[in-house]
Amino acid sequence: ELGAHFFESAGWERPQWYAANESLLQDYPVTRRSGWEARCWSPIIGAEHQAARDRVGLFDLTPFTKLDVTGSGALAYLQWLTSNDMDRPVGRVTYTSMLNDRGGIVCDLTVTRLGEQHFRIITGGTTGPRDLAWLQKHLPVDGSVTLTDISASQCCLGLWGPQARDLAQQVSPNNLSNTAFPYLTAQSIVIGEIPVLAVRISYVGELGWEFYTATEYGLRLWDLLWEAGQSTGLAAVGAGAFESLRLEKGYRLWGNDIHTEYTPYEAGLAFAVRLRKGDFLGRSALVQRGEAGITQKLCCLVLDDPAHVVMGKEPILNGDQYLGYVTSANYGYTVGKSLAYGYLPLAFAAPGTHVEIEYFGKRYPAMVADEPLFDPAMTRLKR
């Protein structure tokens, strides 16, 4: 119906873009690409990106892995396995990492406290099986914790953009104002006749929610939001724009920007570490790293020529000196820049430092930039 172009990821078919959105290019023109840079790409991705920033976008996030942690030992279990503090009030959402004994990032995830002994973990669809295995490996043997994979029984839709609240309020009797429903909280609400767990968080850097409901209600939930959104210019947005939106905002992707070789300190995720909460897996290694100081950090790079978009894994150089490689790259359609991320030695990590990225045998100048490039004050998320 919308002409979705599906790509596969970890067994999931996900729409990369929607052909029905070609008309958006009239409002949001996008420069065409050629050659290798045009592989698995459409200018519609850029139009969907800008529509979400300018108006509102609807995202199918059903591939997310959804896990319930329950039982009398649930809090202690999560406190041990995560770097952030899980002892938050019911209804709070916390971003955190799980670490190995060297302080390396095993995964990043969000944890929503649904009850005194009930927590909901959300992690990526691609990394979900290994994250589940890690959690199972560390379950206490006394039976005080139950870990349940509810991914197949729950779907998820993301609604994000400046008009997300106005749209959602049309179909929900619940108060969705910033005062009644602040950022990083979750509530059970109703959309139309559908019971929904609404989580106010965003991987794209815009106002909005993740809406979770039973899989059998998923199509009806989409239809309710879709019909209500026609008056606000709602666009269905695929995974291609999801990726460019998150990179523009500086959000990390496990397996690319973060993994077990890097600590939260090197990855720019120190805000999700609470050493004072007590002992947790990887804490001793983090303390040692903190005392010794880091030698490298994840940096945002802006290519001098925005017409060149690299794909990822390219070497970052200073003359003949190898500095690191590109972990993620994309075009930032809102900021109008070609972006890349990579770990650099501290001597080259200061904003304004010039480096080169080698792409198909040619070198392209780039500069280290302050991050995030988009909405660094996070005003759009928290309004």
Q: What is the DSSP code string of 323-336?
A: EEEEEEEEEETTTT
Distance CA 84, CA 115 (A): 18
- Beta-bridge partners for 156: 212
Distance CA 64, CA 108 (A): 13
- What SS3 state is found at 352? coil
Distance CA 319, CA 4 (A): 44
Distance CA 290, CA 343 (A): 18
Residue 61 per-residue DSSP state:
-
Torsion angle of C-alpha atoms 357, 104, 276, 199, degrees rounded to 10: 80
Q: Who contacts 72 (Cβ-Cβ below 8 Å, separation ≥6)?
A: 117, 144
Binding residues for substrate: 210
Binding residues: 210
Sign of CA dihedral 73, 84, 124, 153: positive
Torsion angle of C-alpha atoms 64, 185, 376, 257, degrees rounded to 10: -30
Helices then strands, each counted (H, E), the chain: 8, 19
- Cis peptide bond N-terminal to 372, omega within 30: yes
Q: Which two tokens stand for residue 340?
A: 């890349």
Q: Who contacts 93 (Cβ-Cβ below 8 Å, separation ≥6)?
A: 110, 111, 112, 184, 185, 186, 199, 200, 201
First to last CA, the chain: 34
Q: Which residue's structure tokens are 């020529």? A: 305
